[in-house]
Structure 1
Amino acid sequence: MSGTWTFVCAPSELLPGEMRTVFDEVTDAPILVVNLDGDLYALEDRCSHEDYELSAGPVDPAEGSIECVLHGARFDLRDGRALCAPAYSPVAKFPVRVDATGIWTRDDRD
């Protein structure tokens, strides 16, 4: 597990309903950061059903989910769990840190 945080953007650059993607500075994992009504969540930007970027899909703010455009699998932005078939496995959830200098995330898997 890396203690290195990856810079996403300035806090003012990620408004509610918006998302940003970055690659972890250590593991190179694709990370999707979403502003869901002012709360920030980070998930691996890779559908667990088929290796496809979740960031290409729409966010449903009411449900708090994102949909993979490839086959329609949906994932909860808050915890990464799969909400419907064809995905059954969750996607990795990562920590988010916000300070005066920016929004930060990291791949904290062992």
Structure 2
Amino acid sequence: MDFVKVCPVTALPAEGAFKVRVEGRAVAVVRSRGQVYALDDRCSHAEVSLSEGEVYDGTIECWLHGSCFDLRNGEPTNPPATRPIDTYRVRVEDGDVYIAAGEAKP
């Protein structure tokens, strides 16, 4: 499995998201409760950037209509979204964040 270096951990807010591009895909790299996650940066309901939304309680909220997605598995936790978003395996090594680029998990 190929991991791609996407950003230093210091680029991430203490509790929030940072948008990166990985092999042509927009990915939200999120830090929450000391963990780092990676998800598609597109709400499955309105197709707007999730990295611009709020991160809280292990979720990321779409800023447009308020849908939230579980950071661990991309599942929507409230409407209007009903479809999950893809997630990616993450590795933090030597202060940098790496994402398994070719392995999205629906």
Equivalent position SS for 2:65: coil
- Following TM superposition, where does structure 1 have runs of at least 4 consecutive aligned residues deviating by more than 3 angstroms? none
Deviation string, structure 1 residues 82-107 (Cα, Å, up to 9, x no partner): 01111011110111111126111124
The structure with the greater share of residues assigned to strand is 2
Percentage of identical aligned residues: 37
Q: Which has the larger radius of gyration?
A: 1
CA-atom RMSD in angstroms: 1.8
Assess, with a 3 A threshold, how the Cα gap between structure 1 residues 50 and 59 changes in structure 2: closer, same or farther.
Answer: same
**Structure 1 unaligned runs (5+)?**
none
| Residue number in structure 2 paired with 1:7 | 5
Does residue 108 (structure 1) correspond to residue 100 (structure 2)? The answer is no
Mean Cα displacement is larger for which, 92-101 or 36-45?
92-101
Task: Report the alpha carbon displacement of residue 65 of structure 1 after superposing the two structures with TM.
Answer: 0.8
Counterpart residue identity of residue 34, structure 1 = V
**Structure 2 unaligned runs (5+)?**
none
- The answer (yes or no) to whether the contact 2:76–2:84 under 8 Å persists in 1 is yes
**So what's the TM-score if we normalise by structure 1?**
0.83
- The answer (yes or no) to whether the contact 2:75–2:84 under 8 Å persists in 1 is yes
Instruction: Provide the rounded CA distance (Å) in 1 between the counterparts of 2:45 and 2:12.
Output: 28
Counterpart residue identity of residue 12, structure 1 = T
| Residue number in structure 1 paired with 2:14 | 16
Instruction: Provide the rounded CA distance (Å) in 2 between the counterparts of 1:107 and 1:53.
Output: 21
Does residue 31 (structure 1) correspond to residue 27 (structure 2)? The answer is yes
**So what's the TM-score if we normalise by structure 2?**
0.85
Q: Find 2:70's aligned residue among 76, 83, 91.
A: 76
Counterpart residue identity of residue 60, structure 2 = I
Deviation string, structure 1 residues 17-41 (Cα, Å, up to 9, x no partner): 132211113xx11111111121111
Instruction: Provide the rounded CA distance (Å) in 2 between the counterparts of 1:55 and 1:15.
Output: 11
- The answer (yes or no) to whether the contact 2:16–2:54 under 8 Å persists in 1 is no
Does residue 58 (structure 1) correspond to residue 54 (structure 2)? The answer is yes
